[in-house]
Structures are given as C-alpha cells and as structure tokens.
Structure 1
C-alpha cells in the first residue's frame, strides 16, 4: 500500500499566538480538542475539508532538538509492520506504538536523514 499524507501538526511555543496568525493569514478554523492548548486545524470548507491538522505545544520528537517545521503523519494499514520496515530500511523508531482512543495506533520514526515522520493505523475502535 502507498501511504498518503493524512495529518500534519504545527508545534508552537505560544499556541494562541500561532492560532491567531494562521486564522488571519490562511483563513484556517480551529477547535479545541484533547489537552489544554491543543487544537484541531480545519484547513478547508465542509465540502473540501483538506488534510487534518493540529496546533500543539512544541515538543521534542528527537531528544534535545525542538521540533521545527511541519510534523507529517501518513496513514498506513499496519503500524507494527511499518515499524519493522523502518528498522529494516535503516530508520530509527522515535516513539513506539501509542494508542489514541477512538483514533488509532501511532508511531514516530526518523528516516536515515533524521527527519521525524508519523505513521498512523487508523482504527475508530482503538482503546
């Protein structure tokens, strides 16, 4: 299966300042979801919703290196098989399988160039 981009995240030191910025510059809409200071990003209209996004407090997927730029997650059929493929192809697992209730199973890995990438096995029955 070819994995399609399914989600992106923007990490910010001041989430509320960034929210205002993207509302003004790109016309995005935001809705609070999950922990305080975490927002779902709505990049399109109801008819053309675009790619799901999140605005969240800056974090470090790679120890000692704050995440800059967009954090991309790709939809996969089997996150465990993807983790094996990452290791076999010379990548590194940054975050082992993590389940988000009602969403699915997520890993983060680094490609050989050190870029952090997410892989999500969507499963609305995940608990």
Structure 2
C-alpha cells in the first residue's frame, strides 16, 4: 500500500509563510541548495511527515474557492490556543472547530496566502498509528 511521504506548501511570498508556520507550529525550514525550495522539518518522535515550501507559480486561491488539493491536518495539543495563534499570525478560520466523534476536535484554517490546512486535537487515548 502506498503512503504519503512528503507535502508541499505553495507560497506567493515564501519567507512570510516560513515565518507563519515556524511561529505557529515550531517547524524549521532549510533552503535546499541554491533552489527556490525549502525543506520543512515538522519534528520527530511522533507520527507525521516532513515537506517542502516553494514559490507559487500562479495566483493564490480565491476566497470560497473549492478545494483543489490535498488538505493536511496537523496534530495540536490545545485546539483553542492553536486557533488563537493561527489567527493572530494572519490566518483565518474557514470551517469552525467541530467534534469528530471518537477522534477529537477539528478546525480548518486559511493561512495568510490562502492555503487551507486542518488542525486536530485528538481525544485522550486516540492512537494516530495503525494497531
């Protein structure tokens, strides 16, 4: 079975989104050689993947545009604090937080460049790994 091993964030202004995601989630970014591409380190010790950030090759998504890409969801310890921080940094809630029965609480955010992502606070004891 194939698994997701890498994600990419499109950015009209790469440094602005490097600052946003670094401040929001503590991710670190390292430019890949001389390329306009930054490797994203999301941490270790828990299930998850790393990714990349690159300059957007067209206009950012329009407000209320349908989703046309995979949406990544990030594990957070405290959903309310994460929502507050995401919006303080220039993001916006686009789908209010909601319970996901037996799993946790989920919210969808639009970053300052129009990209959509989710944040999930898992219920205690919910495993993110397959048994």
Structure 1-normalised TM-score?
Answer: 0.49
Structure with bigger strand share is: 1
**TM-score with structure 2 length normalisation?**
0.47
